[in-house]
């Protein structure tokens, strides 16, 4: 039996995928409201194919509870934030989960940590907790790291098809967990050591963050000297060995905007390129805010309450707002003692910010200046409604004349 600890954006789909492929699974989360929602037969976030997967898992017997279970294997999928000052990973949720597991686990159980951590985290923080409890690793409890590799908006497909990495002390245990994931994973599954597995996951997201930062820095350079960054990138990408990404209003989510900081925190004197790249990405919401004020000045527009931000989520066509560039921009605006920007996102139904609208037409009626922060399909399909508006397009998706860009 598998006990999945943490039923958020990663833990829940993983639990459902295992259960729907014939594995006995009980999902555990400390959030009573979340567990209650799942037990009423409803998912807690929107994702293509998730409701169908949920129903299949329920039909095969998955259970949800706030209690840790006696199980052969535990999959820990809890948040791993970073300390905003030191940039180091904060393993408190992982440590808490492992401590609670040790209270109920039978001898020989395996703990699989899916949460993304910096290289050496399990060695520095998790092993000492197990040893302090008087357990012998490899005898009383086995440790494995199997970092997730999926993205919101395409979770179900990627769980099925993406390659995976299993890090383990013992190759036999590693192969056992590889077999478990093979129950649903159709990609290649590599078995290696724990520290290598920790590092590969962080490096994957760091690679993406650095490349995004390069595109964002190009956008700033081109804006400074009145050049078209999109035309330049288009021409450069015609080179057979060049593939520059598109700039944007910032980086959000709980991977690219967080994981690279782990390396900066652990290797501050070495990870210089990563550090500057993350600062570049983190500075984009402020850059967009400055562009808004530049355009308002150019248009002799003085009423900030007639400016609307389209999109609250961190990426298109999901309801995930973690580390959202729009939220970062609004926080920056408040630090400058200014408020009034209106906000709308078709995927966010609850009121999470001030001046939030829940209908596109009502939102557009209330603003003269639209800032496209997120390229949801909805706005792509309704570009004609922006014809009479001032538009700052942060993603180069609007083909109307006289559109502003970052």
Compute the average pLDDT of residues 206-210: 97
Compute the average pLDDT of residues 122-137: 97
**Catalytic residue from among 63, 176, 201, 375:** 201
What is the structure's pLDDT at 339? 76
Q: Which residues pair with 5 in a beta bridge?
A: 28, 76
**Catalytic residue from among 105, 222, 255, 394:** 255
What percent of the chain lies above the pLDDT cut of 70?
Answer: 100
255 is catalytic: yes
For residue range 5-17, list pLDDT tens digits in order.
999 999 999 999 9
In the chain, DSSP finds a helix count (H) and a strand count (E) of 16, 14
Q: How far apart are CA 308 and CA 256, in angstroms?
A: 26
Return the structure tokens found at 300.
């002799």
Return the structure tokens found at 361.
């037409």
185 is catalytic: no
For residue range 212-223, list pLDDT tens digits in order.
999 999 999 999
For residue range 331-352, list pLDDT tens digits in order.
998 887 667 899 999 999 999 9
Question: Coil, helix or strand for 137?
Answer: strand
Domains defined for the chain, CATH in brackets:
2-193 (3.40.50.720), 240-405 (3.40.50.720)
């Amino acid at each position: 039996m598998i006990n999945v600890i943490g039923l958020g954006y990663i833990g829940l789909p993983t639990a459902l995928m295992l259960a729907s492929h014939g594995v006995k699974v009980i999902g555990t989360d400390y959030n009573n409201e979340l567990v209650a929602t799942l037990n009423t037969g409803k998912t807690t976030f929107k994702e293509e194919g998730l409701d169908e997967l949920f129903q299949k898992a329920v039909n095969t017997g998955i259970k949800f509870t706030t209690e840790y279970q006696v199980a052969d294997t535990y999959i820990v999928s809890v948040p791993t934030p970073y300390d905003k000052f030191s940039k180091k990973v904060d393993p408190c949720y992982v440590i808490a989960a492992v401590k609670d597991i040790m209270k109920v686990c039978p001898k020989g159980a395996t703990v699989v940590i899916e949460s993304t951590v910096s290289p050496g985290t399990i060695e520095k923080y998790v092993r000492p907790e197990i040893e302090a409890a008087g357990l012998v690793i490899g005898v009383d409890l086995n440790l494995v790291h199997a970092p997730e590799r999926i993205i919101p908006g395409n979770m179900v497909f990627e769980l099925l098809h993406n390659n995976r990495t299993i890090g383990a002390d013992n190759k036999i245990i590693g192969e056992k967990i590889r077999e478990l994931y093979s129950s649903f994973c159709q990609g290649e599954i590599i078995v290696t050591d724990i520290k290598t597995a920790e590092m590969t996951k962080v490096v994957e997201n760091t690679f993406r963050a650095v490349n995004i930062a390069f595109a964002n820095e190009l956008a700033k350079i081109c804006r400074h000297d009145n050049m078209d960054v999109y035309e330049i990138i288009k021409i450069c990408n015609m080179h057979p060995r060049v593939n520059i990404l598109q700039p944007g209003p910032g980086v959000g989510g709980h991977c690219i905007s967080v994981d690279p900081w782990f390396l900066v925190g652990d290797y501050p004197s070495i990870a210089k390129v990563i550090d500057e790249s993350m600062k570049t990405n983190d500075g984009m919401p402020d850059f967009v805010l400055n562009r808004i004020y530049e355009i308002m000045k150019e248009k002799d527009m003085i009423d900030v309450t007639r400016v609307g931000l389209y999109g609250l989520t961190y990426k298109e066509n999901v309801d995930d707002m973690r580390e959202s560039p729009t939220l970062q921009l609004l926080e920056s605006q408040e630090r400058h003692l200014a408020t009034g920007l209106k906000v709308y996102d078709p995927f966010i139904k609850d009121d999470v910010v001030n001046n939030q609208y829940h209908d596109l037409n009502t939102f557009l009626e209330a603003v003269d200046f639209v800032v496209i922060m997120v390229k949801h399909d909805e706005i792509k399909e309704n570009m004609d409604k922006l014809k009479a508006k001032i538009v700052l397009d942060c993603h180069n998706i609007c083909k109307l004349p006289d559109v502003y860009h970052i």
